Chains A and B, each alone.
Chain A
Amino acid sequence: MNKAFAEMSAAGDRIEISFRYDPDLVTCIREVPGARFVPANEGGPMWTVPLTLESARMLNKWMGPSLVLGRAFKQWGKEAIDRERMLNDLATVDDLPADKLQIAQTMPDLAEWLRGYQRADTQFLAATSALNLNQQRLGKTPETIAAVFEAGLGDGPHLVCAPKTSLNTVWRFEVERWTAKLPKPHEVITYSGEMSQQTRANAIEEFWKCIDEEWPVWFVCTYQTVRDGAEPFMDPKEFPEGWASFTIDEFHKSGLPRASGKKDPKSNSKFALAVKEINAQRRYALSGTPMGGKPIKLWGALHFIYPRQYTSKWQWAKTWLQVNNNGYGSDIGGIQRGREDEFYRAMAPYVVRRLRSEVLPQLPPAQWIDVWCDMTPKQEKQYREFAARAETTIEELQLNAIGILAEYARLKVFADAYCAEMVNKEVNCGTCGGSGKIENEAGANTGSTVSYTCPRCLGSGKRTIQHLIPSTDSGKLEALVERLAEQGIVGKNSAGDEAEGESLAIVASQFKEVADMVHAYLNANGIKAVKITGDTKDEDRTVNQMLFREDGKRLPDDPRVIVMTTTAGGVAITLDLVENVHILDETWVPDDQEQLADRAVNTSRMHQIGVYVYRSRNTIEQQIAEANIEKGKINRDILDLRRQGFRATIVESQKNGKS
């Protein structure tokens, strides 16, 4: 093999490899994902690969003895390896004393309040932009706030993008709590599209005032605000100073998992494109359930924190994941067999991940209980009829994925309860906006547009949506009432049973209509229940929530059941007095159920949570259960088992002085 010369590019983002043409070297370089040829008229002939430790390791693996390293590349490699070691060392610290943090001087209350593992995470997050994937209820928010100060970026401004429900209850509360004693207590501005126009205008004015006066400010907004990018401070030209930190909370709910890295808005999520434009010194992406059983969903967040390193989604997928041709396109699966440890090693410098069972082993794990229910005869007859019809519709109309899911969703409602009413409602087609035609720009340069018939409504501009109204004729309802009675939650008019104890319960369904029905049924049968769905006003949501929180003021006669929709109750809600969670129907993503169950976790209270998952026998719910077991296994294997193995290796090598 000829000799090859590897040097860093002038822009500092690629490794340039030059050599006298050699077929073997070309074959080697093609093994490195993202390899590109640079022709003579652009400074070549040479090849380039992304400037990452991963690429460097692959070059070394394939071309090792033939490589001559440039001086700048050598220096970069040394620093990158030192940094990786430092981050690996930090990532394996489980307990850090408060005085080891810089903020022990400036914010002693926060440094003391943080648990040992949180201080260790703070130190790690202060050193690098990263994903914080700690399990729910382990305090990711205070860790992030502490890390920002630990990194010396406390003066801000800071941008936080989070679910609407957490803007005030989580972020405002935590930032104000920890910065109140500082010489300049931080200003927190919350912002969402649901605020009145005047309130939004005031918020913007206040933000600019803080910037002008150099007052530390946190701008906490919804994903929608960032996606629209209408505000001037989202535009790097209008706000060149940029943000000191940019955090995306619960990023699995944002558009990041759908990011493709492409510039074309038609093939990338708008949210991912918008965050790319925002200029920030430090970036954090937070989620306790980041993957939903699909490791590719991590790429968007990695691209968000290090866009120059994680440049191509497909390149990343082909490096680490199983990519199969399904005849129509490519399917991305789990981690390539045999590369799991390498994968975690590559991720470790950018990820913090801890489980409750690791840091709080004294906390009993939630007990998941399957409740298999028989449908009532009427319910079963209806289910079978619609199942047969759905099968025919899917086959005959060759529905796309969305259509198939809609059919499945309908079946799930029938598996919940007999639907006495089905209301057909004609609505404007969302795809074409009711016009029946879709206009598309023919070319960026010509500016001309072409229009074609909307494939969703076939040009009519209208679509019929069928609303299913579930009745109380349900096999699950009976099982639910039985379980509630076992927990001492009974109606005043229940014959024989007496209300006992103080245990509280969450009852959740994916469907608002089912939640409404259960809520009405429980109240009608003397079991006092409150409700949180997408329709619940903010004030009512807070009031209802406080009845089930340790820091709320409960009276003995207050409702003992809170009925919720899985999505409305999934994030940013604390219901830590609850002891049992009843999930009436699972979604296709096991993380949704986990998020819901974690609402009841209280890390300072030793209590066992029971999670009851209700499924109707011989229905679609059986398939969902099987799919979720598989997805859950991928989540555990990738996020946890391999990580634990990797940590054990690092800790062992540290003990042996090899780190």
Chain B
Amino acid sequence: MTILGKKENISVLEISRTLMPDTTYEAVVLELWLGDRSDLATQVDRYFLLYEPEAMGEHLYIEKSYSGWELALAENASNTYRRASQVPGVVLWDMIAKVKESDRDALNHQASEANMLNPEYRRYGYDGKRNERYEAFLNAIDTLADDYDDEAAWADVDAFRRIYAEQHEK
């Protein structure tokens, strides 16, 4: 049985796999993370899986939920997360260590940016205007790196940097 991430950005690293002597159980210790392991924002968790190989299929899929890492038997399993106890053949599925803690500020930066640059979340009013200006500001930084005298880019920089102050002047 192989253990795979349900999405591409999920990484699974098997640390050890042992057939428990005098039993029908197999024990696996594995590390799981989302995205780039070296990114300060990335948290790496170590899990322990104890299962009965006879009762399992060829693959076991892993998905990230709000409460932790969840198991599924099929790649196209619904997004309704299943408790590990509901996966036939799994005897134990538990986090045993946090191998790498995520830097909360880096995580915050990553999440805020994803939120601010996602047009689906763009709303009217202050947030919408701010997010638009933020996108223009990031583009302006790239422009200024090539042409420091691009006044239009400077205007975009000033527009974003001013918006928070303007909001608090009101």
Contact = CB atoms under 8 A, between A and B. Distances in A.
A and B held together in a complex: yes
B141 A4 contact: yes
Interface residues of A, number: 26
Contacts of B108: 37, 39, 45
Interface string B11-51: 00000000000000000000000001011110000000000
A404 to B, nearest CB: 37
Contacts of A7: 157, 161
Nearest to B140: A5
B120 to A, nearest CB: 17
Most chain A CB within a 10 A radius of its CB, from B105, B113, B138: B105
Interface string B101-127: 001011011101111100000000000
Given A5-B157, A10-B165, A26 B144 contact: no
Interface in B122-170: 130, 137-138, 141-142, 144-145, 148, 154, 157, 161, 164-165
Nearest to B35: A23
Looking at A5, A7, A10, A66, the one whose CB has the most chain B CB atoms below 10 A away is A5
Nearest to B167: A43
Nearest to A5: B141
A26 B145 contact: no
Contacts, number: 71
A27 interface: yes
Nearest to B105: A37
Given A45-B108, A45-B112, A30 B144 contact: no
Contacts of B103: 26, 30
Contacts of A37: 105-106, 108-109
Interface string A2-20: 0111010010000000111
A241 to B, nearest CB: 30
Contacts of A18: 137-138, 141
A45 B145 contact: no
Contacts of A3: 141-142, 144-145
B112 A68 contact: no
Nearest to A42: B164
A21 B164 contact: no
B157 to A, nearest CB: 7
A20 B106 CA distance: 12
Interface string B89-110: 0000000000000010110111
A19 B161 CA distance: 13
Contacts of B109: 21, 26, 37, 44-45, 47
A40 interface: yes
Nearest to B130: A40
Contacts of A19: 138, 141
Contacts of B164: 42-43
A44 to B, nearest CB: 7
A4 B38 CA distance: 20
Interface of A: 3-5, 7, 10, 18-21, 23, 26-27, 30, 36-37, 39-40, 42-45, 47, 66, 68, 70-71
Interface of B: 36, 38-41, 103, 105-106, 108-110, 112-116, 130, 137-138, 141-142, 144-145, 148, 154, 157, 161, 164-165
6 contacts: A21-B114, A27-B38, A27-B40, A37-B106, A39-B112, A40-B116
Given A42-B164, A71-B154, 9 more contacts: A23-B38, A23-B41, A39-B112, A40-B115, A44-B109, A45-B108, A45-B113, A68-B141, A70-B157
